Structure 1
Amino acid sequence: MEKIESPASKIKEEFEEHLKVNNIAGIRNIAEMYYPADVAEAIKDFKIKDLILILRFLPTEDSAEIFTYLDNTVQEEIIDQYTSVEIRELFDEIFTDDVVEILEELPANIVKKILKATTPESRLDINHILNYDDDTAGSIMSVDFLILNTGQTVKEAISTIQKQKDDVENVTDFFVVDELNNLKGYVDIRTLFFSDGDSSVETIMKDRVVYAYTTTDQEEVINQFKKYGLNNLPIINSENKLVGIITVDDVIEVIDEEVTEDIHKMAGIAPIEDTYFKTSVWKMVRSRIFSLLFLMLSATITQVIITVFISIYIKASPRQADDWNPNDFVTILLAPLITVLSSTSGIAGGQSSTMLVRAISLNEVQSRDFGRVMWKELRVGLICGTIVSVTNILRMIIVYAIQFEGNLDEKILWFTISTLTVSMFLSIVVSKLIGGTLPIIAKVCKLDPAAVTTPIVTTIIDILSATAFFSIGLAFINQI
């Protein structure tokens, strides 16, 4: 199956040519020829002065739509340099639910500048949505929608639609309310235009309407869209008043977020709201470290089980303890630890590969980002490796203190602890690098990163961690 390539690179070249000669007409023609999402992708890496110049050359309606597709860091720079008038004109063209989504990702000083520049009516609508809890229908609904009244005729309803068509997000299905704003039904555009102009809207509307409350969980909203095949869902408050709608576009965004969250959780990653490159190294470490520590500590159970059975085998062996040399004891001590190492390094690599596969599928990471990903995963690996290794030293001291009844004077025990600790640190760092870069390599080779990454990452990490572990152990044995 051939992949449709984004025209972003072509758009970028055309913009650069027109910018050199300040060809306003040419820039406007480009913006009209391509989708706003593609234009945003093409200009996102421009110098901020050139990017702002392009937006200023375009009609406000076009620049506003392109603005919504830009990264939050770019949006922040634009707002920082825009005048109050430009900000007000820009945000007047953006639907309120999209404005709220933008504001939630920007720093407080930029949000303050935006709210100060917007009209009182816009601020009221924005604050109305912001008051709802995250992950509820109220937090993602749009208040820019058109309502019809039960007392209107079809002719009056069509006139209302024609007047307000540019100010609302949806012009295919219309919800009908009574004089008290109670939701009564809905009517689609086709029914309206093929009905008699003097008929009452109430007589042609469908009164069996699916709805949700402002406090309904987002996942339940998604289920309603799936179950009933909806394009739009009306949202009512506790008094059954119509206060907003959720469109299928809004639901697609929520589905992406929910799927990403579930995928991350399965890989032992705490939910992260930002994209891969917007997430700081420390935030990424915090999202991964607890699963790593939990798995390492829980692997102690496997270590103890193997140790117990090794002791049983030794007792059943015809060889006497006096016949054992130090190397034999080191081998016996090392054997149970390989499971701790392989499981910990395995999940470390799995976390990185899962996050990168998902980021690639959402177009957050491109092939050209190989170096940036390596640098980020290296730093995450170094920090995670240090934390896990230090914790492992404490864990091993406790385990051996119990196993050998507090006698930790034997040099062999400390060689064993050192072997696992050094191996674990190196394995976690390497696992993060492999897990982070292999999905990109798979994409470059035109392979499906999701299909090939997991088995290859697991195999490579197992081989490297086992080799490193026993090689370091061998080096320590030679020092005894």
Structure 2
Amino acid sequence: MDQAPVLAEVVTRQLESMLSVGNYDGVKMLLAPVQPVDVAEAIGNLPRTLQALAFRLLRKDEAIEVYEYLDPAVQQSLLERLRSGEVLELVEEMSPDDRVRLFDELPAKVVRRLLAELSPAERKVTAQLLGYAPETAGRLMTTEYIDLKDFHSAAQALTIVRRRARQTETIYSLYVTDGERHLTGILSLRDLVTADPEDRLGDVMTREVVSVGTDTDQEDVARAIQRYDFLAVPVVDRERRLVGIVTVDDVIDVIEQEATRDLYAAGAVEAGDEDDYFQSNLFTVARRRVVWLSVLVVASFFTSEVIALNEQVLKEVVLLAAFIPLLAGTGGNVGAQSSTVVIRGLSTQSIASLGRIKAVVREATAGLLLGLLMMVLVVPFAWWRGESPLVGLSVGTSLLAITTLAATAGAGFPLLFDRMGLDPALMSTPFITTCTDVVGTLIYLKTAQWLLAHMPQLLQSTGISAHFWLAAFS
């Protein structure tokens, strides 16, 4: 069992109790041994009136780290409640990448004011990061890293690392640049510590460096770090000058953000700001869900229209209507399964080894096989329940066609959207289900209509009399 949420809950209760009676020394003693991430969660769970008070009781160095772990909504709330001088000091001391993420959540007017009040050096680096497109390596990176020169000895490099360690985000990956800041090599802290003090870095560094560009999508950055088991990946501009690094902790946030976005899209929910969904008011919740639901409701009108246009066959064999939900639900489920595995394959790039066309063919074949397997169960039941072969044959034939079509559509639509440069997750489960409902109902009723009109002649051609046919359907 994960103890972190339990710990944060306990700290929150004790924290609220102490703040309510003014036991501020007790608060300081309570929070001193707690990890910053747990302190951030505990403060975030407090009533808004107590959040700023609890935050002010933190030590200055601890407050900066705790603030970076807070949810964006809590960060904004604290900025509103803290005094101007406290806000400026807090923002000034934040790491550049965390500061940029905060600015992305703030109103433009507030961002301009805070930028103007930053020191020239921090203002320059913040403006630089804000200048890159959202959700790219340039926007995600930090400029706090250690770069060395290939002519440095290992002993000189260790001295530089010791001097700059407290001002940089990570020291475990060290980067070597030339006089024009071009990235020429990389070495780990282990390589540096185990090297002979007199060795030149040019002799011990790795020259084949994996890097990303400032315009690389953040998902591709995450894949690079995952693929090579990096703690950080260097970011270079078009001239291969080192401009920053993206660390693994930032990538974990990206993976969570992208996974949340895909899950929301799969459920036909507008993504918005994923982190504040359960803190949003009900009107915001409804707005983020009503758009897709309205589209799906309109699409469902076509199902009603298909049934209305084929009411004659339902009048002749009323029991056909009882199996419409079964066929529609099965088609929707099969399509949802196919779209899920394909969207996941696109996300992990595992589908690339198979190829897009083969992936669609594979899913279509799987849908056909699933239809055949389910026919073994459904057809005898439909024949028995309908007390006639017409219902059994109509359900069985339609089931086979619907599962094949649903699997093909579930695989093909996400791949088509991805090819068009759109988010494949937009081909959500509700959308696939609605489409298969419409087409599946049409296939089912048209199949029954055709069998009703032609089955007597087919049976007669095999020697079975029309009298037997009519008796079977009576």
Q: Deviations over 1:128-164 (max 9, x none)?
A: 1111111211111111112112221111111111111
Given that residues 135 and 218 in structure 1 are in contact (C-alpha distance below 8 angstroms), is that contact kept between their aligned partners in structure 2? yes
2:64 is paired with a residue of what secondary structure? helix
Deviation at 1:20, TM superposition (A): 6.3
Specify the alignment match of 1:311 in structure 2. Answer: 312
Relative distance call for 1:313 and 1:93 in structure 2 (3 A) is closer
Is 2:39 the counterpart of 1:39?
Answer: yes
Specify the alignment match of 2:218 in structure 1. Answer: 218
Specify the alignment match of 1:124 in structure 2. Answer: 124
Relative distance call for 1:78 and 1:286 in structure 2 (3 A) is closer
Given that residues 39 and 66 in structure 1 are in contact (C-alpha distance below 8 angstroms), is that contact kept between their aligned partners in structure 2? yes
Specify the alignment match of 1:61 in structure 2. Answer: 61
Superposed CA RMSD in Å reads 3.4
Specify the alignment match of 2:187 in structure 1. Answer: 187
Amino acid paired to 2:82: Y
Is 2:245 the counterpart of 1:235?
Answer: no
Specify the alignment match of 2:164 in structure 1. Answer: 164
Structure 1: segments with no counterpart, 5+ residues: 318-330, 351-453, 459-480
- Per mean C-alpha deviation after superposition, the further-off stretch among 115-124 and 44-53 is 44-53
Distance in 2 between the 1:299 and 1:110 partners?
45
Deviation at 1:59, TM superposition (A): 1.9
Given that residues 87 and 117 in structure 1 are in contact (C-alpha distance below 8 angstroms), is that contact kept between their aligned partners in structure 2? no
- Describe how 1:306-385 pairs up with structure 2 within 5 A: 306-314=307-315
Structure holding more helix per residue = 2
Deviation at 1:243, TM superposition (A): 0.5
Relative distance call for 1:12 and 1:6 in structure 2 (3 A) is same
Deviation at 1:83, TM superposition (A): 3.5
Given that residues 16 and 50 in structure 2 are in contact (C-alpha distance below 8 angstroms), is that contact kept between their aligned partners in structure 1? no
Given that residues 85 and 117 in structure 1 are in contact (C-alpha distance below 8 angstroms), is that contact kept between their aligned partners in structure 2? no
Deviation at 1:111, TM superposition (A): 2.8
Given that residues 97 and 140 in structure 1 are in contact (C-alpha distance below 8 angstroms), is that contact kept between their aligned partners in structure 2? yes
Q: Deviations over 1:201-243 (max 9, x none)?
A: 1111111111000011112112212222221110001111111
Deviation at 1:309, TM superposition (A): 3.5
Specify the alignment match of 1:287 in structure 2. Answer: 288
Distance in 2 between the 1:108 and 1:256 partners?
26
Amino acid paired to 2:204: I
Relative distance call for 1:46 and 1:295 in structure 2 (3 A) is closer
Q: Deviations over 1:152-183 (max 9, x none)?
A: 11111111111111111111111111111000
Given that residues 129 and 139 in structure 1 are in contact (C-alpha distance below 8 angstroms), is that contact kept between their aligned partners in structure 2? yes
Specify the alignment match of 1:72 in structure 2. Answer: 72
Deviation at 1:15, TM superposition (A): 3.2
Specify the alignment match of 2:140 in structure 1. Answer: 140
Distance in 2 between the 1:15 and 1:302 partners?
56
Given that residues 137 and 218 in structure 2 are in contact (C-alpha distance below 8 angstroms), is that contact kept between their aligned partners in structure 1? yes
Amino acid paired to 2:302: I
Specify the alignment match of 2:379 in structure 1. Answer: none
Amino acid paired to 2:307: I
Relative distance call for 1:313 and 1:218 in structure 2 (3 A) is same
Is 2:198 the counterpart of 1:198?
Answer: yes
Amino acid paired to 1:305: V
Amino-acid identity (%): 29
1:227 is paired with a residue of what secondary structure? helix
Amino acid paired to 1:195: A
Given that residues 257 and 274 in structure 2 are in contact (C-alpha distance below 8 angstroms), is that contact kept between their aligned partners in structure 1? no
Specify the alignment match of 2:421 in structure 1. Answer: none
Distance in 2 between the 1:117 and 1:308 partners?
68
Given that residues 87 and 118 in structure 1 are in contact (C-alpha distance below 8 angstroms), is that contact kept between their aligned partners in structure 2? no
Distance in 2 between the 1:297 and 1:60 partners?
56
Deviation at 1:265, TM superposition (A): 1.3
Q: TM-score, normalised by structure 1?
A: 0.62
Q: Deviations over 1:247-292 (max 9, x none)?
A: 1111111111111111111112232224213545455444333322
Specify the alignment match of 2:298 in structure 1. Answer: 297
Specify the alignment match of 1:261 in structure 2. Answer: 261
Q: Deviations over 1:53-108 (max 9, x none)?
A: 33333221101111222333332232234334322332233211011111111233
Amino acid paired to 1:95: S
Relative distance call for 1:221 and 1:73 in structure 2 (3 A) is closer
Deviation at 1:295, TM superposition (A): 2.3
Distance in 1 between the 2:66 and 2:295 partners?
44
Specify the alignment match of 1:175 in structure 2. Answer: 175
Deviation at 1:197, TM superposition (A): 1.4
Distance in 1 between the 2:182 and 2:131 partners?
22
Given that residues 145 and 168 in structure 2 are in contact (C-alpha distance below 8 angstroms), is that contact kept between their aligned partners in structure 1? yes
Distance in 1 between the 2:281 and 2:132 partners?
27
Q: Deviations over 1:20-70 (max 9, x none)?
A: 676655433333311112112222244556433333332211011112223
Relative distance call for 1:42 and 1:164 in structure 2 (3 A) is same
Relative distance call for 1:266 and 1:14 in structure 2 (3 A) is closer
Distance in 2 between the 1:179 and 1:240 partners?
13
Distance in 2 between the 1:279 and 1:213 partners?
36
Deviation at 1:313, TM superposition (A): 4.8
Specify the alignment match of 2:248 in structure 1. Answer: 248
Specify the alignment match of 2:278 in structure 1. Answer: 277
1:246 is paired with a residue of what secondary structure? strand
Q: TM-score, normalised by structure 2?
A: 0.62
Distance in 2 between the 1:183 and 1:47 partners?
48
Given that residues 144 and 244 in structure 2 are in contact (C-alpha distance below 8 angstroms), is that contact kept between their aligned partners in structure 1? yes
How many residue pairs are counted as aligned between the two chains?
332
Distance in 2 between the 1:75 and 1:44 partners?
9
